[in-house]
Each structure stands twice: as structure tokens, then as C-alpha cells.
A and B are shown apart, each in its own frame.
Chain A
Amino acid sequence: MIKSRKLMLATAAALALSATGAAAERGADGQLNILYWQAVSVLNPFLSGGTKDVEGSSLVLEPLARYDETGTMVPWLVEDIPTVENGGVSEDLTTITWKIKDGIKWSDGTPFTAEDVAFTAAYCMDESGGCQQAANFSDVASVEAVDPLTVKVTFAVPKPFPYGPFVGAQSPVLQKAQFQDCMGAAAPTCTEANFHPIGTGPFVVQDFKANDVVVFAANPEFRDPEKPAFSTVVFKGGGDAASAARSVLETGEFDYAWNLQVEPEILSQMEAAGRGELVSAFGTSVERFEVNMTDPDPALGDKRSTVEGGPHPFLTDPAVTKALSLAIDREILVEAGYGAAGQVTCNLVPAPEAYASTANDWCKTQDIEAANKLLDDAGWVAGSDGIREKDGVRLSMLYQTSTNSVRQGTQALIKQMWSEIGVETELRNVDASVFFGGDPASPDTFQKLYADVEMFTNNFDGTDPQSYLASWRCSEIPSPKNNWLGGNNPRYCSEEYDALFEELSKTAGIEQRAVIAKQLNDMLVEAGAIIPLIHRGGVSAHANSLGGVVMNEWDSELWNIADWHRVE
């Protein structure tokens, strides 16, 4: 309720702005300071899966259409959203045709054309490029520029949800002239382009220090001559969630801080200082366990946590993972760490409503007795030290997550809950910039998963979970062969899942798609590859002097930064 009221207030503020904004002038409001406590490491979202990089680059790079705060698609660089009704999507669901708005220019003054859009698809679909957003381009057969302002995407199969490519912050358009020499294996080596992409967005990159700070300046070629209201944006990274919240709510050094995963009692105390305001919205973010299905034993050397290294000694037993899930009291986790910004969930896909399964609701209430019984029946008996074992294998796990006091609190709580069912847990926390950094040389990244279970949050943009569910196919398993890229961190591999996913990608009709998506969700949860914990709302804070913020969990939080402005 409070949330929706805030949303309404924010919307009202945005409306008020657009009324007064007519008199405004580009750059009149000076500098905007944004703090993302995970620093941006690259400004090309195709080379990074990190939210911080995707959102950082969303000031510059824009998609053809994006999602608004309600999850509804809005045309951005195009005339309208193509549908079957308006003829933009073909009757057989295999093509979608986008009509680009006339007069849009890149920040270097050259016109934005369909060629650029077609190029972006080729760039991401290049097999050797390691494109992190390739899932958005699944089943795309070809993307062609029909004329300078028309792009036609053809799919190999009927695509009931053809809005994967070029919709949302994860699939923006790159400039062909800048990136044409950066295809395939050369993609990561084009530092200049990856650090200073030319875009159509309200800002251009002025200066970029990787993993530290980005300075943006207003884009002189931006399509709306009165926007953006700010002449420069300092996009600072680093620190932690609590200090980020403090810098907006208490000290006022920054105007906006993102992802404030801080204990609720601290946040509400900070907000009482009266300098800023918390905004939150629920999207599809789920704090979950990703359970390693392969053996992380360090003795395996290079084969550690890979399919070649063999299956996990005990986590491949569904009885164990189900017992682990049953032993967790999610209500307590929400109360201790999330407050109003969290809800208990048993699903990987918690929203939209139509896609949320109810088959796993057994996990909503803690049941230690049932968990113990499951393990007893599966032959795991308590040893002399109270830790269950079977055939010499002890239920002893390494549990890793990023460094964040809420996560460490959750770790401590879960460790105690698991000890009640005879499972021993060792805790490890890794600095967030390393954990999510994706550096193939580091042993501590979440992709490498050199641990038994790991906990973090992920989500999908937009309302269709297809490209998200694509992550848990066999082909998406991170391994040394693909430089540890790929979203299938649990190394879950099931032909059945892959086949069902194929079916989803061919199915039209929202209802049927929802049924299949739920089945896929249930397969992952039942196999124990994913243990969902909490449906998280995004929480950010903005200074009282910053207007126009509309919190959006379906796209980049900075989606409407062109409308942000100073208020008295």
C-alpha cells in the first residue's frame, strides 16, 4: 500500500515536472550525482551481465522500446509497438517490423538508422563474441534493414513473444560505425568503444575510469531539445549499500543511490533524517540459492565445478535439496533483512502473476520435522558429531555470497536452520565487485561457483521469462571452454528441460506459455538446482531535491533519467 502510494506520488511528481518542464532548458540544473555501490566496469552491456553495467550504460545506449514502471512496453526510438493487430508482427508470428522515429541522431551527429539495429544483432549473435545478452536473440534468423527507418527481425520459429531483441535495457542498439571492427573475438579488445560508446540517450560519456567513476555530459544531439535537465552526471561506484544509503538520506552528498540492501531498521532510521526518500518497486528479483550440481572439490584442479569433474556428491539428491529448502524459515529472513522490501517466495519466476507457479508452496512454511524425515528416509543418518552422512559422504557445505551485512545475516540464520537438520555449513563472503565482476582469473566469481551453494539475486527485464529461463539449459553452463560465461550457474543439465524450453519458444498464446513457464520453473525448483528464498523489491533512495524519479523494476532504474530535474 505504502509502496503504491509512493509510486503514485512519484508519478504525480513526474507529471508536474513535464508540465513545468516546458520552460526548462537543457543542462540548466547543473550536476547530478549518482552512487552505485557496485562500480561500473564496462559501458557495453553486451559484454557484461552485471546490472550495474547495464544500468550505467543505459544513460547512453537505448533500446527501441522499453518497459515502464508498470511493466508495460512503451515505444522509445520507434513509432509504436508492433503487434499482430497493427500489422507489425506477421500472422505466423515469425517476423516483427520496427518503424524507427524520424530524426533520431547519434551523439556524434550522424543519423540513427536501421543499419545500426541490424548490426547490433549481428554483433551479439556472433558465436565467438561471448555476448552476455545472447538469450535475447534466441531463434533470430535474420535482422535486416528494409529501409533506413525500418527493421525487420525474422525468427526461425514462430515467436509468440517477439520482443526479445532491442527491448529493455539489456538489449540496446550500438552504433555500427563505432563497433564494426569489434565483432566476435575482437569484442572485448575494443576498449575505446566499450568504454566510450556512442549512443542516442540523453547523456554521452565524458570520462570513464573503470571500476570507479563515469562522468557523463548532456548529449547535444538528444532528440528533445529541452532535456536532459542536468548538464553532467557523475556516476560514482564503490562503497557498500549502507554508506550509499547514508550519503543520500543523511549527508546529502549524492542525489541517487541504488540497490539499498540494508537492514530495514537502519534504512527507516536514515530516512527519518529528512534529506531524502526511499523508493521501491517489486519486479522479478528473487534472492535464491543456486545449488552446485557438479563437484567443487579443490582436488579436482581444472575440472573443479565443471561437468567433466563429475556430479556433486550429495546435492544431486533431490531429497537433500528439498530438505534444505524445507528447513529454511523464509519469514524470519524477510523480517531480519528485508522488511517491506521482501516477500517469501518458492519460485524462480515470482511475477507476473500469470507466470507464478503454486506447485512449490510447500516451502513457504518451515518444517524441520518433514525435512529430517526426508533425510532419514533417503538414508542420511546423523554421525557422532550430529552431522548426517551416507557412505562416508558428510552433509557439509560451503555457502558463499557477496559481502553485504544483510546477506551475512541471512547466512548466519540459514546456517543455524540447517544445523537443526544435521547439515554443517561453512560461510564465505566475497567482495561484491569480485563476486559479480566476472573476471575469469578470479576463483571467487559467482560463475565459477567454487562452493556448494551460493546466494544472490537475479531478475529478468520485462514481463516474459523466456530468455531468463533459457539460462538453465545445458548449453549455458559456464566452464573454462566458454571463459566461464553463461547463466547456468548450478550446472543443471536436463534434456527434458531443454526440450520443454524448445516448446515454450514455439508456443503462442499467453495462457499456454504461462503453463510451460511454470513447468520449467517447477523443474528447476524440484531438481534442487535453485532454492528460491525471497522475492525482493528494488529499493533506491533519492534526495528530496531530485524530482522525476519513477522507480522501475522492469527495466533500468534510470530509464527516464532525461526527465529527472531539480526541485526546490
Chain B
Amino acid sequence: MTDAAANSPVTAMPPKQRSMWGDVWRSYRRHPGAMAGTAVFLLILLAVVFGPYIHTVDPGKLDIRAKNITMSLDHPMGTDNLGRDMLAQVLAGGRTSLAVGITAMLLSMLVGAAVGILAGYFRRIDGALMRVTDLFLALPLLPLLLVITMLFRDTLRAAIGPESGIFVLIVFIIGITSWMNTARIVRGEVLTLKEREFVLAARSIGTRNHRILTRHILPNVLSPIMVSATLGIANAIITESALSFLGLGFPSDFPTWGRLLFDGANFMTLTPSRVIWPGLAISLTVLSVNFMGDGLRDALDPRIRGR
């Protein structure tokens, strides 16, 4: 692989790379957990994206006469104590929760992978970057959140509006407090990779650092990055739920799965559907994403893939 890449990447790379990803895909397909996880996740994704076009009830519409209804034809998941339709709220909440999960994951992967690769590859900045990582690991999340919310809430609200302001804030907070593990894992991988023969060979023929990083190192650490990415989505959704649960997240009339669960907790005995559905949605999403990560790790690891 390294020879081909070094000599003539344009002609030699495509068939080889296709076959590698083909292998990965075939291996992934054989992992039943991963396939089930993918199916469930896609189903949830499709439901929250297209669901509101089919079930066209406004999630914020209050109808006090239809409060605390259990499941019925008009309200398949019942209503809350102010008469809001639960299905519409779960769908709308899912959009936010998934959007937060995916964006925060992307941010955390970007930071984590960058820090990990740079620290592993450049010895000079390794110490500094890893101490920063330690520092972030040591930060207590909740007090940090309180301070950040207090400092930036009004500024962001004035700049980009209340809901997108909170969205940016939450994504940012989750992103910058969850990249450290990725960075550590990636750094370890890079440290071993950079002493391997193909990297030394590339360096000996005068390849510049950024070429070595993008050509040789990055593709080889993709496996741990992808795996922590899937776990990151789950983590972000749960953190957002926790924030909403504490009342620090989005405004109270802006549904997210975490908030629906929080609001429903008191009504658990009266209308159980208020906690069952959002709770199920969170659990299923997190579980399915974890299974996908599991399958991806097995598929991306050549030693396991062969079996």
C-alpha cells in the first residue's frame, strides 16, 4: 500500500482503497448488532426528519381541555398536562437532541483528533498539549457549565437569537468537554505509527510533515476516531438530556428528549407515556449508536476483520 501511494497515487490508489472499504463494509454487514443498530438509528433519524410532515400537529400547541390523555388516535403518544401532543413533541425534540449530538460529536472529534495527532507526531508540543488535555479532564463539568452559561448566554442571545444561541452554547460546551479521551487514544496510536517503517520510508524520501500526516498517519488512526465518534454522539445526547434535566439547557417550551423526560418525571404515575417515549427514544438512540461503534471498530481493525 505504501509503495503504491508513494509512487503514483492517482492510478494505483482507487482499486486498493475501494477494496479496503469494501472489506470493511462486508465485515460490518456480518456484525448483527451493528446492522440492527444501524437500522434502528436510521429509523429514528428518518422519523424525526420526516415525521413532522406526516404527523402535522404543532408541538407547542396547548389545548387545556385535552390534557393528560393517554394514548388515543388523535394523540398516539398521549398529551401532557397542558394538552400538548406528545408524539409531536418527541419528534421535534428528537431533531434538537440528534442535532446537538451529531454537531457536538463533530466538534469534539475535530478537536480531539487534531490535538491527538499533533501531540503524538510533534514531540516539541506534546508536553504542552497533553497538559492542556489533563487540565480539561480535571475540569468539573457542571460548575464550568454554570459559569459559561452565565458569561455568554446574553451575548449569544443578542447575537443569534435565544434558541440558536443556546444551541451553539450547548454544542460548544459538550464539544470542548468531551474531546480529551479521543485525543489521548489518537496520540498513543500516532506515537507507535510514526516509528513504523512506512512512515520512516516516507520521511527518508523527503516527504513533508503535513503530507505524512494526511497520507499515512490519519488513515491509520481513523479506526479509533470513528469509534469514539459514535460513542461521542451517545455521550452528547446524554449530556444534553442531563443539562435539560437540570434546567440549564434550552428554554422550557423548546422540547428536547431530555426536557420531555424532566417535565414528565412528576407525571410518571399519572400518564406514564410522558416518560416512556422520550426515555425509550434516548435509550434506543444511544444503544443503536453504541452498537454501530462496536461493529465499526471490529470492521476497521484488520486483525479482527480477517476472521
Chain B contact residues (Cβ within 8 angstroms of A): what range?
20 to 34
B67: min CB distance to chain A, Å: 7
Query: B residues within 8 A CB of A411?
Result: 252-253
Binary per-residue interface labels of chain B (52-71) against chain A in the complex, 1 for a CB within 8 Å, 0 otherwise: 00000000111010011000
Q: Answer whether residue A6 sits at the interface, using C-beta atoms and an 8 A cutoff.
A: no
Q: Which residues of A contact B64 (CB under 8 A)?
A: 332, 335-336, 413
Task: Kindly state whether residue A403 has any CB partner on chain B within 8 Å.
Answer: yes
* Residues of chain B within 8 A of A398, CB atoms compared: 162
Assess whether B108 is interfacial by the CB under 8 Å rule.
no
Which of B13-21, B33-41, B198-206, B261-269 makes up part of the contact surface? B261-269
Cβ-neighbour of B270 out of A266, A299, A427, A428 (below 8 A):
A266
Interface residues of B in 69-97 (CB under 8 A from A): 81-82, 84
Nearest Cβ on chain A to B63's Cβ, whole angstroms: 10
A interface residues, how many (CB within 8 angstroms): 31
* B150 at interface, CB cutoff 8 A: yes
Across the interface, A426 reaches (CB within 8 A) one of B162, B265, B270, namely B162
Chain A residues contacting B84 (CB-CB under 8 Å) are 412
Q: Determine whether A166 belongs to the interface, using a CB cutoff of 8 Å to chain B.
A: no
Looking at the complex, which one of B82, B150, B247, B269 makes contact with A412 (CB distance below 8 Å)? B82
Contacts of A431 in B (CB 8 A): 247
A residues in contact with B150, CB < 8 Å? 442-444
- Confirm or deny: A544 has a beta carbon within 8 angstroms of a beta carbon on chain B: no
**Contact among B60, B162, B247, B270 with A265 in the assembled complex (CB-CB below 8 Å):** B270
Type the 1/0 row for A371-404, where 1 means its CB is closer than 8 Å to any CB of B.
0000000000000000000000000001000010
**Least CB separation from B247: chain A residue:** A403
Q: Is the CB of A426 within 8 A of B82?
A: no
- CA of A144 to CA of B158 in the docked complex: distance in angstroms? 55
Tally inter-chain residue pairs, CB-CB below 8 A: 65
Instruction: Chain A residues near B158: list those with CB within 8 A.
Output: 298-299
Q: Which residues of A contact B209 (CB under 8 A)?
A: none
Q: Does B155 contact A (CB under 8 A)?
A: yes
Q: Is the CB of A265 within 8 A of B68?
A: yes
- Given known contacts A298-B155, A405-B263, A450-B154, A429 and B252 CB-to-CB distance under 8 angstroms: yes
- The reply to whether B269 and A405 form a contact with Cβ atoms under 8 Å apart is no
Complex Cα gap A431–B142 (Å): 14
A413 vs B81: C-alpha distance when bound (angstroms): 11
**A467 on the B face (CB < 8 A):** no
A269 touches B251 (CB 8 A): no
Contact with A along B251-280 (1 / 0, CB 8 A): 111000000000101110110000000000
Contacts of A405 in B (CB 8 A): 263, 266
Chain A residue, CB-CB nearest to B262: A405
For the complex, what is the distance from the CA of A416 to the CA of B61, rounded to whole Å? 8
CB distance from B229 to the nearest CB of A (A): 33
Which A residues from 397 to 435 make CB contacts under 8 A with B?
Answer: 398, 403, 405, 408-409, 411-413, 415-416, 426-431
* Contacting pair A263 B253 (CB below 8 A): no
Chain A positions 246 through 289: 1 when the CB is less than 8 Å from some CB of chain B, otherwise 0: 00000000000000001101100100000000000000000000
Say yes or no for A242: interface residue by CB 8 A criterion. Answer: yes
The CA-CA distance from A220 to B51 in the complex, in Å, is 68
**Pair B154/A416 contact, Cβ less than 8 Å:** no
Q: Which residues of B contact A450 (CB under 8 A)?
A: 154
Contacts of A430 in B (CB 8 A): 247
- What residues on A are CB-neighbors of B62 within 8 Å? 412-413, 416
Whole-angstrom distance between the Cβ of B32 and the nearest chain A Cβ: 42
Shortest B81–chain A CB gap in Å is 6
Closest to B155 in A: A298
Which residue on B lies nearest to A270, using beta carbons? B269
B266→A408 contact, CB < 8 A? no
Q: Say yes or no: B266 contacts A415, CB within 8 Å.
A: no
Distance between Cα atoms of A360 and B253 in the complex (Å) = 30
- The chain A residue with its CB closest to the CB of B80 is A409
A428's closest neighbor in chain B, by CB? B251
Contacts of A262 in B (CB 8 A): 266
In the bound complex, residues from chain A placing their C-beta under 8 Å from that of B266 are 242, 262-263, 266, 405
CB distance A427 to B82 under 8 Å?
no
- Which residue of chain A is the closest to B266 with respect to CB atoms? A242
Shortest beta-carbon distance, A77 to chain B, in Å? Answer: 42
Do A269 and B252 contact each other (CB < 8 Å), given the known contacts A332-B64, A409-B81, A412-B62? no
CB neighbours (8 Å) of A409 from chain B are 81-82
Contact status A412-B68, CB under 8 Å: no
- Inter-chain contact B60/A416, CB cutoff 8 Å: yes
Chain A 421-463: CB-based contact to B (< 8 A → 1; otherwise 0): 0000011111100000000001110000010000000000000
Distance A412 CA – B83 CA, assembled complex (angstroms): 11
Please measure, in the bound complex, the distance between the C-alpha atom of A442 and the C-alpha atom of B150, giving whole angstroms: 8
* Given A332-B64, A411-B253, 5 more pairs with CB closer than 8 A: A266-B270, A413-B64, A427-B251, A429-B252, A443-B150
In order of increasing CB-CB distance, the 7 nearest A-B pairs are A298-B154, A408-B252, A242-B266, A427-B251, A403-B247, A426-B162, A412-B253
Show 19 A/B contacts (Cβ-Cβ < 8 Å), sorted by A.
A242-B266, A263-B266, A298-B158, A336-B64, A336-B82, A405-B263, A405-B266, A408-B252, A411-B252, A411-B253, A413-B62, A413-B64, A413-B82, A427-B251, A428-B251, A429-B247, A429-B251, A443-B154, A450-B154
